[in-house]
Amino acid sequence: MHKKAIIVGASSGIGLKVAKLLLADGWHLGVAARREEPLLELKASAPERMEVMTIDVTKPDAGERLQSLIERLGGMDLYFHASGIGKQNLTLEESIELNTMETNAVGFTRMIGTAYRYFAERGSGHIAAITSIAGTKGLGPAPAYSATKALQATYLQSLEQQAHQRGLNICFTDIRPGFVDTALLNDNFPYPMMMRPEKVARDIVRSIYRRRHVRVIDFRYRILTFLWRLIPNWLWRRMKLVSIILLLSFVSIVNAQDKKGRWVESINVLSPTPCSEISGRVKVSLQAKGMEHLVAQCYVFDAKHTKPQKTVLTPYGIKLDENGVGTFLLNAKKLPHGPLTIQIIGDNATGEHDLYELQLYNTAGKQSQIAGIPDTIPSAAQGMQLVYSDDFDGPLSISRDGRGARYNAHKPTFGDFSGWPFCNPEGAQNPFMQKDTYLIIRARKDDGARGSTGLIATVDMNGNGFRATPPCYMECRLMAQSAPGTWPAFWTITNINRGEGDELDIIEAYGGWGEGNPNSTGYWVTSHFWGQKDEKGEPLKHPGKLIEMTERRLGTSWSQTFHTYGLRIDSLQTTYYLDDEEVWSHPTNSYSYEQPHVLLINYAIGGASGWKVNLERYNNTSEMYVDYLRVFEQRNK
C-alpha cells in the first residue's frame, strides 16, 4: 500500500523541495497552492502518482477543496502545511498585517483543522507544518509574522494535547527553520546564516520519518533560540533589529570558528579528473566518507548576462552507498561553454562539513558565459583611450625573460614568491595554455617534484615592454579555484628593482576552507608604498581592505564565477573597482601618479602568502582562467 501525502504550498520553496523528496521515496502526492502552473510542471514528473488542486488558504472554501483533494488521492496519511507569507513592516502598514494574519493565522487554522478532523475520523495520521523560529519571541520588525508563527506553534501543541486526551493516534511535527534562501526572504535584506532550501527539505523529511514533535533547523538556530529564551523581557523589548542580527552573526561566527571537527576533507572526486575537459552527458563519481548530505551546484549567468544564478545540479541530493561512494550526472550541453566551477557541499548530523571545488572545461554547452573583451567602455575609463588590450584568443607570446615576447614569465627583475615555482613556457613544466578566449595558468605538482605554476608581466627583465601611465584605468577578468594554498593576483609595480616604489594589488585572493585556511569568499585590495617615509620619518603604512564579494552586485565569489577587477589612478585618488563598481579608494601616492606601472597576473601556490598548501585531493592540479586584460590612458593630463 503506497503512502499518501498532501502538501499545501507545494508550488515553490521548501514545499516544492519536500514534494520532490517524497516523490523520490515512492509516495503518492496531492499537491496544492494558489498557482496551478508550477503544480502541473511537478505533476509531469510523476503523473500517475500525483493529484493537483488549486487552493487559496485564505478563501472560505479552502477546507472543502482540501477534502476533495483527499478523495481524489484516495486518502491521506500525511498532511504537510508549507503555505505562509511574511514581510518586515517597520511602519506597521495595515494591509501587510491583515494579509499576514489571513494567511498565517486564519488560513493555517482552517487547513490544519480540516486535516485534524479527517485524521480524527480515521483514528490516526500525521500533521506536519512549517512554523518558524520567529515565533520564539516577538520580533518588532515583523509583528504579524512573528505573532502568527507563535500562534501556529501553540495551536499545534494544543491539538497534540487534545488528540492525546481523545485517544487519537495523530502525530504532530512542528518544523521551525531559521532563514532559508527562498522567495519569502527575497527582499534584499542581508539575512545572516541563510540556509539552502534543499538542505532544509531533507531535514524536514527526515524529521517526519522520525516523527519528531518539534524540529528547529539547523543546530545554529537551536543555539540561537536557546539564547533568545534566556533574554529577559525588559531587555528584549529594548533590543533593536541590529542587536538581534549581531546575535545571529555571533552564533554563525562561533560555529565557523569551532575548530573541533567541524571542517573535514571528506569529498574526493574519482572522475572526471579535475581540470579536464567535458562534453555531452558526464557521470561524476565521488567518495565522501562520513558525509550524510551532499549537493552539487554551480553558477550560471542569466539570459541577459546580468547576474549569475545558482543552479542546483542535484536537486534530490547525492545518494551515497555504504562506502560513501555516489554519482550524479552533468549535462554539459545545458551548462555554459568554457571554464566551470562545480561546488560539491557536504555535511552530517555531527556538524562536520566540507566544500570541494571541481574545475572543468566545458567544450560543449551554451555560449551563455560572458567571454571576451566587452564593447563598452568602463565607467571609470570614460574620457580615456584604449592603449593596451589582450583577449587571449590567439597564440600566446610569453618567454622566460620577456625578451622577444609580449610577456615575461617571471617578476622582473627579482622576487619570485610562489611556493610552487613560476616556470618557463619553453620546458616540460610549461604552465600556460590558451583555449577559446582564455589564458589558462595551470598549477601542478608531479610526484617528487617541487611543483609549477605561472606569472606574466608586461615588461622583460630589462624593463622594456608595456607600462600604464597615469591618469589611467586598467582591468582584468579572471576566475580561479579556492583551495588550500591558491593565491591568484592582479597587480602593478612602479619599480622593478629594489628600492622605493609602489605596488598596487588590485586583487589578492587566498583560497581554502577549514582549519588553518583563510575561509573567505572575499579578496584583498592593498596599496604598498615600499621604502617610503612620511614627513615624520615614519615608514608609510600599507592601506588595504577586504572586499566581501557575496555582498556585491553579482553575489558570487572569485572562485564561483568570473569577475572584472579594475584600478583607476589619477592625480587625486587611487580607486579600486569590482565589476565596474567602486569598492575602495585613497589619496594617490606621488610614486603611483608620477611613475608608470608594470602589470602582473599570477597564480601563486603557497610561498610568501604564508598559507599552507594542500591540493592532494585535486590531483595536485589547479587552474586560473584569465579572460582579458585592457588598459585605458588619458592622453592629455
Calpha distance 33→42 (Å, rounded):
12
**Cβ neighbours for 206, distance < 8 A, ≥ 6 positions apart:** none
* pLDDT-derived band at 190, boundaries 50, 70, 90: very low
Q: Longest C-alpha distance within the chain, in Å?
A: 92
Contact yes or no for 107/62 (Cβ under 8 A): yes
Average pLDDT over residues 449-471: 96
Structure confidence at residue 138 (pLDDT): 87
Contact yes or no for 243/141 (Cβ under 8 A): no
With a cut of 50, say whether residue 261 has pLDDT above it.
no
Lowest mean pLDDT among 293-302, 355-364, 451-460, 575-584: 293-302
Structure confidence at residue 417 (pLDDT): 93
Domain ranges of the chain: 4-256, 267-362, 387-633
Structure confidence at residue 206 (pLDDT): 92
The fraction of the chain above a pLDDT of 70, given in percent, is 93
Calpha distance 467→459 (Å, rounded):
7
What kind and span of H or E run contains 618?
none
Structure confidence at residue 196 (pLDDT): 79
What are the tens digits of pLDDT across the range 388-445? 999 999 999 999 999 999 999 999 988 889 999 999 998 889 999 999 999 999 999 9
Average pLDDT over residues 561-574: 96
Mean pLDDT, the chain, rounded, equals 89
* pLDDT-derived band at 256, boundaries 50, 70, 90: very low
* Ramachandran sector of residue 234 (left: φ over 0; alpha: ψ -120 to 50; beta: rest): alpha
* pLDDT-derived band at 257, boundaries 50, 70, 90: very low
Q: Give catalytic residue positions.
A: 145
Structure confidence at residue 355 (pLDDT): 92
What are the tens digits of pLDDT across the range 95-114? 899 999 999 999 999 999 99
Higher pLDDT, 583 or 636: 583
* pLDDT-derived band at 347, boundaries 50, 70, 90: confident
Contact yes or no for 612/485 (Cβ under 8 A): yes
**Residue 174 pairs with which residues in a beta bridge?**
129, 214
Q: Which architecture characterizes domain 267-362 according to CATH?
A: Sandwich (2.60)
Query: Any idea of the CA torsion for 95, 82, 47, 54, to the nearest 10 degrees?
Result: -30
CATH number for region 387-633: 2.60.120.200
With a cut of 80, say whether residue 252 has pLDDT above it.
no
Higher pLDDT, 224 or 259: 224
The domain 4-256 is classified under which CATH number: 3.40.47.10, 3.40.50.970, 3.40.50.720, 3.40.50.2300? 3.40.50.720
Average pLDDT over residues 555-577: 95
Residue that is written with C-alpha cell 620577456 in the block: 402
Calpha distance 628→390 (Å, rounded):
6
What are the tens digits of pLDDT across the range 329-343? 999 998 989 999 999
* Ramachandran sector of residue 357 (left: φ over 0; alpha: ψ -120 to 50; beta: rest): beta
Specify the 3-state DSSP secondary structure of 446: coil
Residue that is written with C-alpha cell 500525483 in the block: 50
